[in-house]
Structure 1
């Protein structure tokens, strides 16, 4: 017999675990940590600096998600951020939301 409570519990568990993955683990798995750190500038800006700069920008999530995938240069100096073709749009959005929470 079909039990809707079991399906609901499973969906909630998947949502919680996927948002938990959108954090340091996802950043490490996509090698973001080769150039970025939470608190200090490395090759790229610190996540905290990004969060501070975009704290009041309502378009930050889509703008930065696109930059993660396509790359860019000029926002933080002349060191380019290469395109990250292995990052899916949903992963980029998850990463950006996590980065923006690092204030």
Structure 2
């Protein structure tokens, strides 16, 4: 009976953390996320090279960040304009301006996870997410400001 509860508990954790990923399993899903993130970063680099600039809340970061979010579990707890488990992206954008300091701080929050800023429910950490990718995600989130 204990085995059934353990298996159900582990399954629930994987389901909650799986997000939009269609892959299951440790290294394969991590590899897929990393490859998707690299491809999205490559797209952003191309945009930056064409325009020659990239602002803190710029569109280059926005489209890349949106692509990165689609490869992660973010949409399990967040939507653009509706509070789910965590705050809506627009709520986050209303609270923080697109300064370099805020982008840095929020990127670290995505990587380390935690709770307290928006309630007691902890955000899942994303320790394998490169800081540059986390910053692109933050830039996208901050670009959703109304």
Q: TM-score, normalised by structure 2?
A: 0.56
C-alpha deviations, 1:30-75, integer Å up to 9, x for none?
A: 1211111000001110000000000276521000000000011100
- In structure 2, do the counterparts of structure 1 residues 56 and 92 end up closer, same or farther at CA, with 3 Å as the change threshold? closer
Once the two structures are superposed, the pairs formed by residues 1-103 of structure 1 within 5 Å of their partners are 14-16=45-47, 19=61, 21-55=63-97, 59-103=101-145
Superposition deviation, residue 26 in structure 1: 1.2
Name the SS for the 1:26 alignment partner.
helix
Aligned-partner Cα distance in 2 for 1:13–1:66: 20
After superposition, the CA RMSD in angstroms is 2.6
Superposition deviation, residue 80 in structure 1: 0.4
Q: TM-score, normalised by structure 1?
A: 0.77
The answer as to whether partners of 2:103 and 2:135 remain within 8 angstroms in 1 is yes
More helix per residue: 1 or 2?
A: 2
Superposition deviation, residue 21 in structure 1: 4.7
Task: Give the length in aligned residue pairs.
Answer: 93
- In structure 2, do the counterparts of structure 1 residues 68 and 29 end up closer, same or farther at CA, with 3 Å as the change threshold? same
Unaligned runs of 5+ in 1: 1-10
